[in-house]
Structure formats: structure tokens, C-alpha cells
Homo-oligomer: A and B are copies of this chain.
């Protein structure tokens, strides 16, 4: 990783520095885990001080939330429009995401712990988590409507929302079981199975979902 470490004296624009910190944090927390990953190690990788990281992100929890959003952004960078795709392509993208998540355990830990905490009444991150789920539900419901229209399937609005909630729910819940028991729960295969099951419930006869093109299954 030494090529990513600029000399301490280099002047780096604020936005660029934030991206460097996020990339380092994704590596450190992804491999070391939510607890063992430290701000000190993130700082060292970027060639700044611990206080420098706090200056940009405020706290470990806030940095971790930003890392999760950074991961969402990076995951769609290779896609057209650099945005989560629509139609069936979205579901292939979700399966690809699960496959990638299996190689960044610490990031999945951070997501699970932070989201779990956010459900308590008045938690400062509740709005952030609520908004993230709301946007994702609407993206998925919209993709379902697109596929239903293309195929002339009658899709009740209520079913679109239920299926969208279920797709997100099963991805999250399988992550928790996989984190605790990776030998028993295969994150990528279980996720693909469950997403296809939910898709078929609202879009009968939909084809199997291989990974999206352009996304390698390799670490």
C-alpha cells in the first residue's frame, strides 16, 4: 500500500484528502474489523495524524458511516452513469455486491453494528439509516415496476414495496448470519437464492440472476 502514502508535507485539497482517508478506512476496517480497525492505522496509511482524521470526520462512527457510503459509490463506479442500475440489472448488481461483501468482512460488520444501533429511539444516526433504506426501497420497487411493465406483468404497488423491503431485509439478515457463521452461511449464494425467490413471487418466470457483467468475483 506504500504507493498510496503521500509524503507528510504534501498539500492535498480537502476533497482529495477525504477520499484518501475513506479509501484507507475501507481497507483498514474491511480487513481488521469494526473494533480492531483503528483511526491511528487509517491515519498512518494516509500519512497524517490521528487528529487529522478526526478533523475531517469527527469520530470513528461518523467515519464508518461515510465509509459505507463510499463503498456504495465505489461499487457503482464501473457501471453506466455510475449509478445503481434499473430493471433486472439492479438485482444482478445486488448479487454482485453480496459477492464483494464476502471479501470485506469488516465493512459488513460496521454496517451491521451501526444499523443495529440506529434503531434505538432518538439515535443520532436514525435519520441517516432511515433515508438510506427509503432510497434503496424506492430504487428496487422502481426496478420491479420497470421489469413488470416490460413483460406485461400486473404488479400491485403494495407488492412492489413488500418485495423491495424483503430484498433489502434478506440481504441484511444474511450478512448477520454469515458474519457469525461463515462456514455454514454462504453469503453470495444464499443472497442470490433469496433475491430470485422474492423476484419470482412478483415476476413469475423471471430468469436466473448471474453476476452483473464487468464485476469480477475475484477478491
Contacts and interface: CB of A to CB of B under 8 A. Distances in A.
Contacts of A196: 201
Contacts of A186: 162
Contacts of A171: 169, 173
A172 to B, nearest CB: 4
Interface string A123-165: 0001001100110010000000000000000000001011101
A65 interface: no
B176 A116 contact: yes
Q: How many copies does the complex hold?
A: 2
For chain A, what secondary structure do more than half of its interface residues adopt (helix, strand, loop), or is it mixed? helix
Interface stretch (A30-38, A41-49, A51-59, A85-93): A30-38
A168 B162 contact: no
B35 A120 contact: yes
B197 A201 contact: yes
Interface residues of A, number: 51
A119 B109 CA distance: 6
A28 to B, nearest CB: 14
Contacts of A101: none
Interface of A: 33-36, 109, 112-113, 115-122, 126, 129-130, 133-134, 137, 159, 161-163, 165-166, 168-174, 176-177, 179-181, 184-186, 189-190, 193-194, 196-198, 200-201
